[in-house]
Amino acid sequence: MLIQEKFVVKAPIKKVWEFAMNPDEIGRCVPGCEKIEKMDERRYLTIVHAGVGPIKVRFKFISTITEMDEPKHIRLESQGEDLGKAGTFTQTSDVDLREIAENEVEVSYVSNINVVGRLATFGERVMRAQAKKIGEQFIRSFKERIEAKKEITA
Amino acid sequence: MEIAKKILKVKVNGRPYEFLIRPKTTLLQLLRNDFGLTGAKQACMDNSCGACTVIVDQMAVKACSVLALQVNGREVTTVEGLASRDGKLHPLQQAFLDHHAFQCGFCTPGKLMSAKAMLDEKPHPNEEEIRRDMEGNLCRCTGYTQYIDAIKAVAQKKEGSK
Amino acid sequence: MRDFEYLPTKTIHEACSLISQYKEEGKILAGGQSLITLLRQKLISPSYLIDIKGVSELDYLTFDEKKGLRMGALTTHRAIEKSSLIQNRYPVLSEMEKSVASVQTRNWGTIGGNLCSGDPIGDPAPSLIALNAKIKIVSSREEKTIPLAEFFTDYFTTILEPDEILAEIQLPPLVAHTGVVYMKFSTIEAGIKIVSTSVSMILDSDKVTCRDARIVMSAVAPVPFNARKAGELLIGKKINDDLIAEAAQLASEETNPTSDVHASAEFRREIAKVLVRRAVKEAFEKAKKA
């Protein structure tokens, strides 16, 4: 399942990078995020809960930064499972930051998610729609939080 | 959690039975595991293929998606109950043989039960009606044509037109 | 599937009492054509299953000239399909039910269960919404009646609280000059529907001006989708082919389909446009004769 998004944030590129690299901040943008914990320089442990109708899942996964080019590019590879054993997944995400004007950054990400197990059987269309919805919520929160921060610190 | 087993009273292929079963038992599991009636098949795990079709109170149903306890007090007919006691085949079974209707045979019991339920309710369907009512029984081998021909033959024969 | 306690009930009162006791730990079982599959796939695991299939007071189909149709939630799809009452009064429902799943599913599955599963590709919901359906929801606390159009909130999500049970579906009687049409598109005739639509149109006594129109679709949004703007475009106007085409285009633009293995979002949008155009035209023709 391929997910691609692009959005513009009104903040200097350095701030956007710092924000993106801060697990606490990112954690608050991800709907259903219970925790993001830094394990070491390159690895994070995350627990996220999600659901569609009567189906509830709790994903526990480890993300590893495999490529980093401050402040422009980051590649994350994640591997995880549903704690209720409904499925496992692997994911590769590329996040790119591009300064399009002073205090204006275009964030684009491309995510390749592979789900295996009962969750995949349930329906790719619903997962995709949920992933899209979570993505949209994430973008909204990301923009709100980083632009609010800027106002406070400016 | 100690789950309470429940009593199930059901008639299967004409005979009454009483069982004490775990609630999560599906009708398909009951038939295959407890009765040894393995005609009805488990295939898709998705309630979409019809290989598990049996007849409950004259209705064709998919046994994989019916809890056994839901047929309490009802009558179930499976493919094993089609032929008469003396071994004479049901007209549908004979027609399936005559028309080479099946190949691997996996979907066949389900097809027989769906067809029987249809003909019991409506003895002379036309081809369109047959095709529509048999939509719930998928087959990966045959391309369906011979199945339809076989059922048509029985539908027409009952009319006495042969 | 995982074990659960099985609690069969014979009355709506009993069922309400049990589900209010167990709430999220319990699930209502009717025909189980959606529920049992989820249980077998271990995607849900309630501790209690409250079986209401034996609650005969929820299985009925009655019609009154003034009040219209009252359908108990446990009415099976097959009963609706075969009912002469339905075929006389609301033939579009019988027509639609003919292509719901398969005979086997229709024999055991119920209209209430179908609606409560909240599946956006389900056909009954758009047809019932086009017919202005209301539903009665009961619990130990209260009884309420709401338009079916307000029932669905998201994929597989309805407004039902954990202790509520859908009890009845109500349809108003059809007025003169009403045409209702159900149309579907699938790439394989017996396969999953790519898009389906139900259109209802009421004409003025001049039989050319539209008094009311509803265009409702399945599989183009997270919920059964009412293309409101397209419907409103037609109201108060004289129906002609150009207007119909405009409404179809608008309806298509209102949709928000996703891509899946059966069809892309773009394909669904395009099919929606074509289906709506044809269905509105047919509803208009039917309304003229009614």
> Which tens digits make up the pLDDT trace of B103-131?
999 999 999 999 999 999 999 999 999 99
Give the single-character DSSP code of B147.
Answer: H
Q: What is the dihedral of CA C29, C33, C36, C39, to 10 degrees?
A: -110
pLDDT tens profile B3-42:
889 999 999 999 999 999 999 999 999 999 999 999 999 9
- What pLDDT, on the 0 to 100 scale, is given for residue B4? 87
Q: Are residues C126 and C191 in the same domain?
A: no
CB contact under 8 A, B1 and C1: no
* Separation in Å, CA of C243 to nearest CA in chain A: 32
The dihedral built from the CA positions of residue C11, C14, C17 and C19, taken in this order, carries a sign that is negative
Task: Name the segment(s) of chain B with CATH classification 1.10.150.120.
Answer: 91-157
CB contact under 8 A, B70 and C3: no
Print the SS3 string covering C135-201: EEEECCCCEEEEEHHHCEEECCEECCCCCCEEEEEEECCCCCCEEEEEEEECCCCCCCCCEEEEEEE
- What pLDDT, on the 0 to 100 scale, is given for residue C74? 98
Q: In A, residues 6-35, which contact C (CB 8 Å cutoff)?
A: none
Q: Which residues of A touch C117 (CB under 8 A)?
A: 53
Q: Neighbouring chains of B at 3+ CB pairs within 8 Å?
A: C
* Position B161 pLDDT exceeds 50: no
Q: Name the percent of chain C lying above pLDDT 90.
A: 93
Q: Which residue of B has its CA nearest to C101?
A: B136
Secondary structure class of C128 (helix, strand, coil): helix
Q: Which of C124, C145, C171 is the last residue of a domain?
A: C171
Residue scoring higher pLDDT (C286 or A26): C286
Q: Are residues C82 and C184 in the same domain?
A: no
Q: Spell out the domain ranges in chain A.
A: 2-153
CB contact under 8 A, C4 and B46: no
Q: In C, residues 29-88, which contact B (CB 8 Å cutoff)?
A: 29, 32-33, 36-37, 39-41, 47, 49, 51, 53, 78
CB contact under 8 A, C259 and A128: yes
pLDDT tens profile B38-77:
999 999 988 999 999 999 999 999 999 999 999 999 999 9
Give the single-character DSSP code of C256.
Answer: -
- What pLDDT, on the 0 to 100 scale, is given for residue A131? 81
Bin A105: left if φ > 0, else alpha if -120 < ψ < 50, else beta.
beta
Q: Which residue of A has its CA nearest to C43?
A: A55
Bin B81: left if φ > 0, else alpha if -120 < ψ < 50, else beta.
alpha
Q: Which residue of C has its CA nearest to B24?
A: C3
Mean pLDDT of C201-229: 96
One pLDDT digit (tens) per residue for chain A, 154 residues: 888 889 999 999 999 999 888 888 888 898 999 999 999 989 999 999 988 888 888 999 999 999 999 889 999 999 999 998 888 999 999 999 999 998 899 999 899 989 898 888 766 667 777 888 888 888 899 989 888 875 555 4
Domain B6-78: what homologous superfamily? Beta-grasp domain (3.10.20.30)
Residues in chain A: 154
Tokens of A96: 């790119």
Tokens of C184: 């579907």
Other CB atoms within a 10 A radius of the CB of residue C96 amount to 26
Q: Which residues of C touch A125 (CB under 8 A)?
A: 258-261
CATH architecture of B91-157: Orthogonal Bundle (1.10)
pLDDT tens profile B82-106:
999 999 999 999 999 999 999 999 9
- What pLDDT, on the 0 to 100 scale, is given for residue C188? 84
C104 near B CB under 8 A: yes
Residue C37 belongs to domain spanning: 5-51
Q: Which residue of C has its CA nearest to B66?
A: C32
Q: What is the mean pLDDT of chain C?
A: 96
* Separation in Å, CA of A123 to nearest CA in chain C: 9
- Compute the radius of gyration of chain C from its Cα atoms: 19
- What pLDDT, on the 0 to 100 scale, is given for residue A47? 95
- What pLDDT, on the 0 to 100 scale, is given for residue B20? 96
What is d(CA A126, CA A138) in angstroms, rounded to the nearest whole number?
18
Give the single-character DSSP code of B145.
Answer: H
Q: Are residues C81 and C117 in the same domain?
A: yes
- Residues 6+ away with beta carbon under 8 Å from B36: none
pTM of the model: 0.92
CB-nearest partner of C41 from A122, A129, A132: A122
* Separation in Å, CA of C253 to nearest CA in chain A: 18
Cβ-contact B82, B117 below 8 angstroms: no
Q: Which residues of A touch C27 (CB under 8 A)?
A: 54
Q: Are residues C185 and C100 in the same domain?
A: no
Residue among B28, B47, B107, B137 with most chain C CBs within 10 A, to mutate: B47
Q: Are residues C82 and C149 in the same domain?
A: yes
Task: Name the segment(s) of chain B with CATH classification 3.10.20.30.
Answer: 6-78
What is d(CA C46, CA C77) in angstroms, rounded to the nearest whole number?
26
- What pLDDT, on the 0 to 100 scale, is given for residue A154? 46
Residue among A82, A116, A125, A126 with most chain C CBs within 10 A, to mutate: A125
What is d(CA B78, CA B67) in angstroms, rounded to the nearest whole number?
16
CATH number for A2-153 (one of 3.40.50.720, 3.40.710.10, 3.30.70.890, 3.30.530.20): it is 3.30.530.20
Total domain count, chain C: 3
**What are residue C212's DSSP bridge partners?**
C202
CA distances to A34, A53, B15 from A137, in Å: 16, 18, 59
Residue scoring higher pLDDT (A18 or C52): C52
Predicted complex ipTM: 0.95
- What pLDDT, on the 0 to 100 scale, is given for residue A133? 84
A122 near C CB under 8 A: yes
What is d(CA C132, CA C217) in angstroms, rounded to the nearest whole number?
14
CATH number of the domain bearing residue C146: 3.30.465.10
Q: Which residues of C touch B41 (CB under 8 A)?
A: none
Give the single-character DSSP code of A89.
Answer: E
CB contact under 8 A, B135 and C49: no
Type of residue numbered A147: E
Mean pLDDT of C177-205: 93
